[in-house]
Structure 1
Amino acid sequence: MRFFMEKLLLIGINTRSMLNSALKLDYEIFSTSYFSTSDTPQIKNQKIILEEKNNESSGIFEDNFNSSYILETSKDFIDEADYIIPISGISPGEFSKKDQKKILGNKDVSQIENKFKFYEKIKDEFTVPETFLIKDVDEAIEISENKPEVKYIIKPVKGSGGYDINLLNNDSTIQLNDSENYILQEYIDGINLSSSILARKDIKKTIMNSRLLTENDFKNNNSYIYIGNILPLTKESILSNIGNIDEINKQMIETSQNLAYKFNLIGSNGVDYILNENGLYVIEVNPRIQGTFECVEKSLQINMLDAHIKSCMNESVEIPKAKYYSYKKIIYSPCRNKYSKIDLDNIYDLPHIGTITEKSEPLLTIIDKDTDFKKLYEKVENSSRIVNQETI
């Protein structure tokens, strides 16, 4: 029995969805978020980095986001909190050793976040794309010329969300940032999939598989920026003519659990895959609460933040069967846009009225659920069309 409310800090790029779940739990909540969406719950202990103002641009996320600044801004919250949950954008390794003890989730993720170390760690046990650590583009071209039959992509050693991934081809004019390290990776053409894992100390369980969506799925433009998910994974939601969906689900469940044991994961985590005619390739592990968070909540009708916390504290969590299909789709602004109210009931992460979103920056998120997949898909795609039309 607790005689005082313990203090929980949520910190990352966007805390909106987790704040909604946290406010249903018995904690005093603190939050630091980069984005300031108009539908983010307003709480007493809250810091927001991006101050959206009428007639002012919200800028370019990749240019402006700085995890070190968020941590520095949150210093008093970090000191006061009993527990910390870092969300996408903040690595546990960026916290001091003292503060890492407060983290609910994985603390040492160095072998996972470094994509080359991750590849080296799992290449003998799992099917993975061949990967090289490179110094520059010239080295990448030299490697690719020795294997002209293989397509390659260049990506940062550390990074998430599909940003800064470039297809290497004959007319490549790729500019690499001197301050970052990069890998050259065999390009696997196929269907993007992901698993959600819930892990206790000794029990790791895959609770949901999903279709992972990137910009390339919609525009076929060699952009691999994360767009969203559809779950659970079925012959309909995979959005492709795949006959052996039960076998794919079974293989994903087993592989994700094996990876969770290998890296001793705790709490809510994700594994990303690509499926093609050669089988299932492991692409990366996301050692934190994933972008599927709200979709899993809507599908299973549970509080995923509660499930994450209980798992981190080695408490058992009852996971029901999926009750709904759920579909999340992030809309990136089709043009430079001054936001005005859009009258839809399934849109989230909304800019403040009158603020300016630059072209190709995240504008808002569509999230919906339905027991009928076709109805759900039509609803989300219809909302997507309306948002793009009204934005233009």
Structure 2
Amino acid sequence: MKFGLDVVAVDYWGDQDLKNKIEDLIVVKEKEVKTELDKAELIVSAAEDAFKEFSKIDGILVGSGLDDRPDLWDKLNNLAPVFGNTPTVIKEVRNVLNLFKGAKKKKISCPFTHLVSTLTEAKRIGKDINFPLVLKPLGGAGGVNIRIAYNIDELKSKYLEISQLTKNEQIYIQEFIEGQDVSSMVLSTGKESKILSINEQLIGLKEANSPSSFTYCGNVIPLDTTEEATQNINESSTKLAQLFELQGINGIDFVLKNGTPYLMEINPRFPGTFELVENIIETNLLKLHFDACLGNLPSKNLSYHKYGAKIVAFSAGNYTLPDLADLKDIYDIPFPGTVANKGSPICTVQIFGKNKKEVMEKALKIINDINAKCSE
């Protein structure tokens, strides 16, 4: 939905459909960059360039990629006001141990989690918790570099694998909660909050060629579950938003086990469900975000008008991609000739309909069409 703002966008990839919509777009991959900078630092460096090129920028909205870098949020805040959470809040909620400590005080269930710094410590913790165990890097998003260990030998190998991939020996060892992956979208003023949606998460979806069992592959909205589970997710999300004084629109991830939501993480910025929810509740979410940052929540309750599915299509092989722009209902479309290695994301499918079965069937058919076209 349009909001009447002039936009300068900084994006790492610069996909076809984004270039067609945004006139003032800075694509990080197309710039001559300093190779010693990581992806998050490159994005902020490009944002600094945008302020030199465009003189009248009044504020900043932050998407994914900077969740674990409050120092970079601080840099952005020095350029112009960030409409959303402060760097202090980012630091608080992205520290898993701090997050869980606060959540437990509010009677919110969390998996047992320990931060280890050595293989010896990891093995000691592994003996104190029942297998399987989940190993998570210190930062990251989308389920990248998360592993599961079913015994002490796998714990050793997975610990070494993650520490080598991330170049960091500090790793979270976490109790494995078996249940349904869900999330909520929360609108908050820092003092009050309103739940905009409760969502099913699609994690490790084989039909989408997911590269791992922990990879984020999309969502179905709304979540089909019991009234009790819905109420529990609502209550936990509201408590967390108020405890950490979240601002604007945020995403909160849970695993739902026997009606009880176990907190996994807070994504302190626009979550990946943004476009789906906006279409499903037929409301301009950007306006709600700005209003909440100014201390105002909508007076009326927002309701679902349809179902929606978002699925990330991952590459089934090593391909040089064809032009996918003629396929309907796909977004984040790469340019023809882009090289996609097996397991890397290609594009996103979004479908709306009357129920979960309808939207999933239609979305997966498009995934099959993408696979067929890429493998020709």
Bucket of the pairwise TM-score, normalised by the shorter protein? 0.7 to 0.9
Amino acid at match of 1:252: I
Taking the aligned partners of 2:355 and 2:42, their CA distance within structure 1 comes to: 44
In the superposition, relative to structure 1, how do residues 27 and 220 fare at CA in structure 2: closer, same or farther (>3 Å)? closer
Q: Deviations over 1:147-205 (max 9, x none)?
A: 3x332111122221111111123342222134463211111111100001011243201
Residue 28 of structure 2: aligned partner? 49
- What is the deviation of 1:267? 0.4
Residue 228 of structure 1: aligned partner? 218
Taking the aligned partners of 1:182 and 1:100, their CA distance within structure 2 comes to: 33
Alignment of 1:146-295 (within 5 A): 146-147=128-129, 149-170=130-151, 171-172=153-154, 173-174=157-158, 175=161, 176=163, 177-179=166-168, 181-215=170-204, 223-235=213-225, 245-277=226-258, 279-295=260-276
Residue 60 of structure 1: aligned partner? none
Taking the aligned partners of 1:127 and 1:43, their CA distance within structure 2 comes to: 42
SS for the counterpart of 2:201 is strand
In the superposition, relative to structure 1, how do residues 43 and 180 fare at CA in structure 2: closer, same or farther (>3 Å)? farther
Identify the match of residue 113 of structure 2 among 127, 131, 155.
131
SS for the counterpart of 2:14 is coil
Residue 95 of structure 1: aligned partner? 73
Alignment of 1:59-98 (within 5 A): 66-78=39-51, 80=55, 81-91=57-67, 92-96=70-74
Residue 9 of structure 1: aligned partner? none
Structure with more helix by fraction: 2
List alignment gaps of at least 5 residues for structure 2: none
Amino acid at match of 1:69: L
Q: Does 1:27 align with 2:5?
A: yes
Identify the match of residue 39 of structure 1 among 6, 9, 17.
17
Amino acid at match of 1:27: L
Taking the aligned partners of 1:103 and 1:338, their CA distance within structure 2 comes to: 38
In the superposition, relative to structure 1, how do residues 95 and 374 fare at CA in structure 2: closer, same or farther (>3 Å)? closer
SS for the counterpart of 1:103 is coil
Taking the aligned partners of 2:374 and 2:316, their CA distance within structure 1 comes to: 7
SS for the counterpart of 1:50 is helix
Amino acid at match of 1:189: E
Q: Does 1:114 align with 2:87?
A: no
Q: Is the 8 A contact 1:116 1:183 kept in 2?
A: no
Q: Does 1:341 align with 2:284?
A: no
In the superposition, relative to structure 1, how do residues 220 and 89 fare at CA in structure 2: closer, same or farther (>3 Å)? closer
Q: Is the 8 A contact 1:167 1:222 kept in 2?
A: no
- What is the deviation of 1:93? 3.6
**How many residues in Structure 1 have an aligned counterpart in Structure 2?**
350
Return 130-139 or 259-268, whichever deviates more: 130-139
- What is the deviation of 1:51? 3.7
Q: Deviations over 1:284-303 (max 9, x none)?
A: 11111100011101211122
Give the structure-1-normalised TM-score. 0.83
Taking the aligned partners of 1:252 and 1:75, their CA distance within structure 2 comes to: 39
Taking the aligned partners of 2:38 and 2:318, their CA distance within structure 1 comes to: 19
Q: Is the 8 A contact 1:300 1:323 kept in 2?
A: yes
Q: Deviations over 1:60-108 (max 9, x none)?
A: xxx9961111111221434742111111002454133652760000012
Taking the aligned partners of 1:48 and 1:272, their CA distance within structure 2 comes to: 30
Taking the aligned partners of 1:119 and 1:137, their CA distance within structure 2 comes to: 23
Task: Give the superposed CA RMSD.
Answer: 2.4
Q: Does 1:303 align with 2:292?
A: no
Taking the aligned partners of 1:361 and 1:222, their CA distance within structure 2 comes to: 11
Q: Is the 8 A contact 1:140 1:184 kept in 2?
A: yes
Taking the aligned partners of 2:308 and 2:49, their CA distance within structure 1 comes to: 37
Identity %: 26
Amino acid at match of 2:216: Y
Identify the match of residue 337 of structure 2 among 345, 348, 354.
354
Amino acid at match of 1:203: E
SS for the counterpart of 1:83 is coil
List alignment gaps of at least 5 residues for structure 1: 1-20, 53-62, 236-244
Amino acid at match of 1:184: I
- What is the deviation of 1:216? 5.4
In the superposition, relative to structure 1, how do residues 180 and 299 fare at CA in structure 2: closer, same or farther (>3 Å)? farther
In the superposition, relative to structure 1, how do residues 221 and 391 fare at CA in structure 2: closer, same or farther (>3 Å)? closer
